Chain A
Amino acid sequence: MTTHSGAEDLLRALAPQVLGALVRRYGHFDACEDAVQEALLAAAVQWPEQGIPDNPRGWLITVASRRLTDELRSEYARRRREDTALAMTPLDQFVAPAPGDEYPQAEDDTLTLLFLCCHPALSPSSQVALTLRAVGGLTTAQIARAFLVPESTMGQRISRAKQRIKATGIPFQLPPEPERTDRLDAVLHVLYLIFNEGYTTSSGPDLHRAELTGEAIRLTRGLHRLLPDDGEVAGLLALMVLTDARRPARTRADGGLVPLAEQDRTLWQSGSIEEGVALITRTLARAPLGPYQIQAAIAAVHGEAARAEDTDWPQIVALYRVLARISPGPMVTLNHAIAVAMAQGPQAGLDMLATLDADDRLAEHHRLDAVRAHLLEMAGDRAAARAGYQRAARRTTSLPEQRYLEARAARLAEP
């Protein structure tokens, strides 16, 4: 009986605190009030039987949040995400702020959570895993399947990431202004990695990895809603949408890769291309230029060509020139060389590739061999092209690429 009335007193004392924490976090006063009532009811039934939990306020906030999110959003994935957000929030964040302090909004919390998951103290693979779970609401099993590792491996990666956040004392708050741009770059990079992980998967038994593409687009769309004025966020979203539009045309039924020039463009998703083109056009007109925007613009030029031969290569060359200026790198030079070859002939492209031979980052890379072989083929040097394709086939670690490169080499062996 003492336990019972002790529990009741405690519940009365805690009820307003719990409600305050929920309203500050979620808004929706009416729904919060209902949810807290249900949590209190659950406590009134369970505590006398099972004892008062070590942290009764935390218990109530957790239970009330579950009820609330159940009601507000029936989607399971959403609930996961917000529970995790809650679990990762230090308890002192639930204390009502002093009068005059701003109440953080739920949207800010999502953004804060995204910054937290992509914190530079975490390794890229941890950032990816944590973002998918905490922000994306995927289960550990789903993430493990997408990355073709055992669930225990992925579980360790996530728990390690969370420990690291705890150990380094990273606060649950938006990064201060001077570092926010860099931190946003890291967030965009993580979203880009997630997208690529899904997009480069061809078909067949790994099809579930393709869900990552949809997840990356969903998360980037959400980020774009939160930061509508950021040109690079919009640029990345446009790049993803435009790239993903080509998905139905990029693989054959047998899983073989179809290069851009040979894709059946009637299979491209025209709605997505329209969306991406409109978004990047709007963005380029008003935001400071950045590498994702330029890559999206290049994807848009490809998207607007009804046939490969209609591609506006001089325009693409011009875009690569800008990209090389603001974000130089060997992969940019490589793609720039392809565009130059298409616009000005293979020799101009080959000359540009020659500058990469001394670059350690790429000299041994199969992409350099593959592109050079392609340009040599264009130039009519079949023997050198064949040798290049074979060298690239030996160096790649991708099965579909290897198949494609071997087929190119074999075709050149025929008289």
Chain B
Amino acid sequence: MKYMLLIYNNAAVLEALPAAERDAFMGEVDPIMKELMGSGELVGGEALAHPSNTKTVRVRDGVAATTDGPFAEAKEQLAGYLIVDCETPERAISIAERWPDAKYWAMEVRPIMDTAGTEM
């Protein structure tokens, strides 16, 4: 089963971390990525640019309006995602638990819709 692991963080807080702490934070990612690549569980993933680069697009009554900044006004923003193909949901959750952002903010683990189905 494939899962998307959504990484949420607060860019301002992350930037404000002392350099050593930030390096340690980033350093936790490498072994996890190496493990996921080695096991053949990593399907893909991307990091997103700083939330200030976001454009929010809305179309109302056929008129498009584009505003700067993310749609959600929450302090935590989507910072990136991973897609993993795991044997069990527990495994996907355990990967999320080890991702450093989970310690400060949160990770969401969501199953990806499949195009297969049984004849019910």
Contacts and interface: CB of A to CB of B under 8 A. Distances in A.
Nearest to A204: B115
Interface residues of B, number: 22
Interface residues of A, number: 42
Interface string A386-400: 000000000011111
B115 A202 contact: yes
Interface of B: 1-2, 37-44, 85, 87, 111-120
A402 B112 CA distance: 13
B87 A399 contact: no
B91 to A, nearest CB: 10
A404 interface: yes
B40 A156 contact: yes
A246 B116 CA distance: 16
A263 B116 CA distance: 18
B44 A150 contact: yes
A260 B120 CA distance: 7
Nearest to B118: A200
A229 B40 CA distance: 37
A209 B116 contact: yes
Contacts of A202: 115-117
Given A398-B114, A400-B115, A257 B120 contact: yes
B116 A200 contact: yes
Interface string A151-168: 001111110100000000
B87 A124 contact: yes
Nearest to A366: B120
Contacts of B41: 153
A150 B91 CA distance: 20
Given A124-B87, A125-B87, A397 B114 contact: yes
A396 B120 CA distance: 12
Contacts of B115: 201-202, 204-206, 398-400
A3 B41 CA distance: 48
Contacts of B37: 156
A96 interface: no
Nearest to A243: B119
Contacts of A190: none
Interface in A123-179: 123-126, 129, 147-150, 153-158, 160
